[in-house]
Structure 1
Amino acid sequence: FKVIAQSISIPVVIYNVPSRTNLNINPATLKRLADIDNIVAVKECNLLQASEIFYLCGDKLDLYSGEDGNIVPLLALGGKGVISVIANILPKDTHNMVKSFLDGDIETSRKLQIKSVPVEKALFCETNPIPIKAAMNLMGFDVGPCRMPLVEISEAGLAQLKKALTEYGLM
């Protein structure tokens, strides 16, 4: 991380998404990385670990939720926002969830978080990005098929996705 960060002049956001990388960046490591000037933020997927990052790093690193289901809880800890999957199909609601919270309207933010649960679950019924690509195609955005080694969404996954999108009013 240090070599990469020091070889560029733009801000760096570290992605800590162990479910995708099979590697967790622990809070103690992030504390050391926070001393590098252009490492400015972390996309964090572990809410319990986020608390420790805030404890160790203070305001040296901004934290963004890496889990759509933890947007409001991470904001409550002091997070700045979300780097999101669900925002691809719910951009306005995702924006409003974060903005409402940051503006002090916790109840609106909480309601949007809870309302999105069935869609979040459907978007992760199979390996990401399979369901989000299927959802976007279903909604009329021609994003094409998944590329190998990924495959198309299963029939069961597609049924779950269609149900969630329909109930949310997206189809």
Structure 2
Amino acid sequence: KVCNSILNLYNEEGIVVEPAGALTIAALDYYADKIKGKNVVCILSGSNNDITRTQEIRERSLFYEGLKHYFVIKFPQRAGALRDFLNDVLGPTDDITHFEYTKKHNRETGPALVGIRVQKKEDYEGLISRMEAHNINYQTLNDQKMLFDLLV
């Protein structure tokens, strides 16, 4: 949520803040019911934000919004397996944003780390349904913090 607030402040207001500075804005949603109809002051502090972290902040924001998902997918080790996945599983607005694969010898399948961005949060259900309909062997990483931190 903090990363989402940082990006919104920059994109909508042109304000550059560090994570601690965006914390008050990020907390507004949490307290929305308690502060409704009241005057509220948020203090935005600090602009100690390294520009090289922008991609990481954007990534965390997409993750928070439910638009970026990571999977370990076992692909058959045959020509055309990735093409089949692209044609059969990805929706028209889905985008592969990360792909790591190393061919394994003497195995029928090989694991790939795949990052997929969906256009709307609701598109995730369709993506999962298509993977299951095509018997794709996959494991989600977004909800497995330790494995996610290791691989992504």
Higher relative contact order (CA 8 A, sep 6+): 2
Question: Shorter-normalised TM-score: what interval?
Answer: under 0.3
- Structure that is richer in helix per residue: 1
Q: What TM-score does the superposition give when structure 1 sets the normalisation length? A: 0.22
- Structure that is richer in strand per residue: 2
